[in-house]
Amino acid sequence: MRPLRRALLLLPLAGPALGQDPLQQVMRSLAAVKQRRSRFTEDKVIPELDIGLPNEGTLLWVAPDRLEKHTTWPIDEFLAVQGGRLHYERRDRAVQREFALGEQPEMAALVEAIRATLAGDLPALRQHYEVSFSGTPAEWTLVLTPASLRLRTAVQRITITGQGSELRGVDTEGGGGVTRMRIMPAS
């Protein structure tokens, strides 16, 4: 058999990756990561202030649905979401709260923007957002626009950037300001 003909016959066996949608490739890549720990820096830019309000800390993702954000500077603040529950602590003020995400639909949608992205769960993202994708599996951007008018009053858009299976940034526009989170792998 001639080499060209053999290659053409084997082409269908090469797998769906050749003609696959880049968004689906990114989602599969993200879903393959079962646990990750990252560092973050975050600036909250409020139009009334001339400077951003910075903070930093760590993020932990454990599939299928545990997400932790521990702010270590300038305050110690801890937020953990698992399943349908959110736990919040701020020790310097002796504050501890826990509630079901179902009681706070806006908070649930914000949590799902990150959690569903990390899980590679496109149907969960589409439950709450119109999803726009650009880029390649190597370097990509997701733009999430809230489907709910109620949520849109608080958040107009969430832009998530990544490289391969790693999130690199989350920009949240809404409430008269922008929050910019930059994410780096923990060393």
The CATH number of whichever domain residue 72 belongs to comes to 2.50.20.10
- Establish if 13 belongs to a structural domain: no
pTM as predicted: 0.86
Whether residue 48 is predicted with pLDDT greater than 50 in this model: the reply is yes
Segment 148-157 long-range contacts (CB within 8 Å, at least 24 positions apart): 148/105, 148/109, 150/105, 150/106, 151/105, 151/106, 151/109, 154/106, 155/106, 155/109, 155/110
Mean pLDDT taken over the chain: 89
Peptide bond into 74 cis (omega under 30): yes
- State the pLDDT at residue 176: 77
pLDDT band of 53, cuts 50, 70, 90? confident
- State the pLDDT at residue 12: 41
Share of the chain above pLDDT 70, in %: 88
- Establish if 8 belongs to a structural domain: no
Whether residue 9 is predicted with pLDDT greater than 90 in this model: the reply is no
CA distance 158 to 101: 19
- Establish if 76 belongs to a structural domain: yes
- Establish if 139 belongs to a structural domain: yes
- Establish if 3 belongs to a structural domain: no
Q: How far is C-alpha 131 from the chain's CA centre?
A: 12
Whether residue 91 is predicted with pLDDT greater than 90 in this model: the reply is no
- Establish if 14 belongs to a structural domain: no
Range of the domain at 168: 20-185
At 104-157, the pLDDT tens digits run 888 888 899 999 999 999 999 999 999 999 999 999 999 999 999 988 988 999
- Establish if 6 belongs to a structural domain: no
Across the range 48-72, mean pLDDT stands at: 91
- State the pLDDT at residue 18: 53
CA distance 16 to 152: 36
Whether residue 2 is predicted with pLDDT greater than 80 in this model: the reply is no
- Establish if 11 belongs to a structural domain: no
- State the pLDDT at residue 186: 85
SS3 111: helix
Residues in Cβ contact with 187 at an 8 Å cutoff, skipping those fewer than 6 apart: 39
How many structural domains compose the chain? 1
- Which residue type is seen at 26? V
